[in-house]
Amino acid sequence: MDHLPDENRRYKDVDYWDERYRVEQSFDWFGDFSKFKHLLENLINKDDSILVLGCGNSSMSGEMYDAGYRRITNIDYSSVCVDAMAARHAHCPGMTWRQMDARQLDFPDASFDIVLEKATLDAMLVEEKDPWKVSPQTACLIHQVLKECDQRSIKSSYAAGGPPHSQPAVSM
Ligand SMILES: C[S@@+](CC[C@H](N)C(=O)[O-])C[C@H]1O[C@@H](n2cnc3c(N)ncnc32)[C@H](O)[C@@H]1O
């Protein structure tokens, strides 16, 4: 693993992700779209407006686009990531990439039908010893992100990972 941080807590730092995305082309945490396809196809219509939180350099959004999901907005707080992904997917009209913090979404209410996240909440939980019993600070952070998502989404959110924090999302 070329990009492991010196300390786990660095997974919370945007500087770590910026550095990593300057060199790493693509990496899929927990797997790519093929692993979740059977679940997502039951939840998301092809014409739904989708927000992907902490998209990283994952192939997921590109693969969803190829599978017919055309209204995908991707955000990540790493500007290095967002610039690279926007350039890589310049041939995909309807799919957008924006540098944004999941704790403070800059979209009008009810902009999306569904919010997806894969391993983004996990990065926020990295300092917790027990994901089922998190510190008040982390609980507050996760609550803030979920509240932001709730406000901007009409149907539901889907989280791959972080089961205790992703209610009412469907979790793996
Ligand atoms: C573990 S990676 C997962 C990347 C991708 N979703 C995947 O499944 O491969 C976590 C991602 O979340 C992003 N991230 C972490 N905290 C964030 C925040 N507060 N707002 C937006 N993005 C964040 C990081 O920059 C990184 O790209």
Ligand 1 centroid – CA 116 distance (Å): 12
Superfamily designation of domain 8-165 = Vaccinia Virus protein VP39 (3.40.50.150)
Ligand 1 centroid – CA 54 distance (Å): 3
Structure tokens at 142: 């996760």
Ligand 1 centroid – CA 117 distance (Å): 8
What pLDDT is stored for residue 45 in this prediction? 93
Residue 164 has pLDDT above 60, yes or no: no
Residue whose CA is closest, atom 26 of ligand 1? Answer: 56
> Which sequence spans correspond to the domains of the chain?
8-165
d(CA 37, CA 62): 13
Collect all residues with Cβ–Cβ distance below 8 Å to 13 and sequence separation of at least 6: none
- How do residues 18-73 score in pLDDT, each as one tens digit? 999 999 999 999 999 999 999 899 889 999 999 999 999 999 999 999 999 999 99
Mutate to test the pocket of ligand 1, among 40, 59, 60, 77 (most ligand atoms within 8 A of CB): 77
d(CA 116, CA 66): 17
From 47, 49, 54, select the one nearest 101 (Cα to Cα).
Answer: 54
Ligand 1 centroid – CA 41 distance (Å): 23
Token look-up 């730092």 returns 13
pTM value is 0.91
| Omega prior to 163 cis, within 30 of 0 | no
